Amino acid sequence: MSAPLPRSLDPAPGELLPGYLLRMAHRLDLKPLDLGRLCGLVTGSTFPARHMVRLDQDRTRHIADVCRLNPAEVHGLTLAGQAPGYTPLRIDYLGRHQSTVTMANDGWVLTAFSRYCPDCLRDTADLPGGPVWDGAWRLPHTFLCERHQRILDWQCPTCHAPAFSNGYRADGRWRPTQLIPAPAQRLHPARCRHRRSTGPNAACGQGLDQPARPPVRPAAAMTHAHQRLAEAATAADHEVASLGQQVSAQCFFNDIRATVAAVRGTWPMAGELLTDIGPVDTITAHIEALRRPHPERTAALGDGRVARTFGHPPADPLAAADLMAITVAILDNPTGHHTLAHLLSDLPSTSTAHIRLRHHAQHCSPAMTAVIRRSVRFPRKAAGPPALFPQPATHRGRLDPDAISTPLPEHWTAPLDELGAPHRQLRRDAAIRLVQMATGCSRRSAAFHLQIPLGSLHSATISIQAWQKEPGNAAAYQKALHRVAEIARHG
């Protein structure tokens, strides 16, 4: 058990464990690595970044004793303590158990570096131990400083490496993240700790509290998006708006992730649909880099940051600001599901975004789940035999797919009962076809929308296909379906 340190520091508002320990080490003239050992945070010679995400009770008490804090103050130095509404920090995120190690390496949880505001570092320079690194700068959706009305910086003006990062190898891959980069070196908290080489004095050491260029001012849409995301991240027990509905913060952030996938997977369509957002050249450059083959992606930018951000918000805060402004604009609009439907219908079925959306659908808000189920095309091979009688989208925009259920309402089914087909399978098949008539989606996607199990879908497909092959049945069925659709339209 380590003895309490001779002096302590009060945590600054919004400060995370790395910044606090950095200030403490500077005040006591210790290497951050040595302070980490005293606090029980070092394993061998590494300073695991997972401690920034969440701390167990024993380690929390130990840090509190060493640093002369109370456990609540230590908990407040973690992302779990500061962002209780931020969905990716949940243990059961997207239906799978995740550890703190998994979270620390997930670009939706935190960045492998820290964005920063030079003005904030300069404003807090006189605090004991030196300037404060705001914990929110590590969240991937934090891209501006509202106090100084500027887009955050993220690269050292001298070595051009992402700030507060452990750097990357010559092949473009990130080095394993550390709670504090270059922890064996004594440096002022405002100095760049990126390791350009190995050795005792390998860190860059450039001051980050002096801006290298004039600040970039955020557009109104960027500021609005930033406020919406920041409020939702701290709204553990409050509902927020998404697609015209009040939903939990958890659903809202899942909607954000799904919308980002839709926007990025179909770019530049979203920019063409939302012309009032303004210039979006940064998104175009970001997505063009992501679409290059892997060797070209790392060579094109020369620092490996694209590999880390593939599938996650962009590392560049200006590109992140543009992307989140578009994303929030879609979700703020009560009719945003129409925009999403346009985007998702154009999403290639072989794309990574398509696969992610199929998995994320059930974890989003009801409105987002519905639009994904209607619009995302699912692999036909999972649905059994292909439809021999494809269903055209004759009622797109005229029939509400959300009004269709299985079993169908009894007052809809009279035209079907006249056909003499297998009763139960025909009604199930008719519900599927009505969704297809309203949306143009595949049978598999329509069944998914109706929550029909794959086994039941397979049974209906086989039975009704056999019946449709008999002379006259397919044409009679289509006439009956149109009569059912008109009954459904008029209640």
Q: Could you tell me if 387 and 364 lie in one domain?
A: no
Q: Could you tell me if 369 and 393 lie in one domain?
A: no
343, 375, 407 - which closes a domain: 375
Q: Could you tell me if 36 and 161 lie in one domain?
A: yes
Q: Which domain holds residue 328?
A: 221-375
Q: Could you tell me if 61 and 162 lie in one domain?
A: yes
375, 390, 421 - which closes a domain: 375
In a domain, 285, yes or no: yes
Q: Could you tell me if 293 and 368 lie in one domain?
A: yes
At 194 the pLDDT is: 86
Query: How many domains are contained in the chain?
Result: 3
Q: Could you tell me if 233 and 371 lie in one domain?
A: yes
Q: Could you tell me if 9 and 64 lie in one domain?
A: yes
Whole-model pTM? Answer: 0.74
pLDDT, one tens digit for every residue, the chain (491 residues): 678 998 889 999 999 999 999 999 999 999 999 999 999 999 777 888 889 988 999 999 999 999 999 999 999 999 888 888 887 887 777 766 777 877 777 788 888 889 999 999 999 999 999 999 999 999 988 999 999 999 999 999 998 888 998 776 665 666 777 899 989 889 999 999 987 766 656 788 999 998 878 999 999 999 999 999 999 988 767 889 999 999 998 899 999 999 998 998 888 888 888 877 766 788 888 888 777 665 544 444 444 444 445 567 888 999 999 999 999 999 999 999 989 988 888 877 766 777 778 778 888 999 999 998 888 765 444 344 445 688 888 887 788 887 888 889 888 989 998 898 888 889 999 999 998 888 877 888 788 778 788 778 888 888 888 888 888 888 899 999 999 998 988 76
Q: Where are the beta strands (DSSP E) in 31-172?
A: 144-145, 150-151
In a domain, 213, yes or no: no
Q: Could you tell me if 46 and 77 lie in one domain?
A: yes
In a domain, 109, yes or no: yes
In a domain, 256, yes or no: yes
Q: Could you tell me if 65 and 79 lie in one domain?
A: yes
Q: Could you tell me if 434 and 337 lie in one domain?
A: no
Q: Could you tell me if 369 and 395 lie in one domain?
A: no
In a domain, 462, yes or no: yes
357, 375, 393 - which closes a domain: 375
In a domain, 210, yes or no: no
Long-range pairs for 269-277: beta carbons < 8 A, 24 or more residues apart: 269/342, 269/343, 269/346, 270/326, 270/330, 270/339, 270/343, 271/326, 273/339, 273/342, 273/343, 274/326, 274/329, 274/330, 274/339, 277/221, 277/322, 277/325, 277/326, 277/329
Q: Could you tell me if 137 and 252 lie in one domain?
A: no
Burial of 113 by CB count in 10 Å (0-12 exposed, 13-18 middle, 19+ buried)?
buried
At 172 the pLDDT is: 61
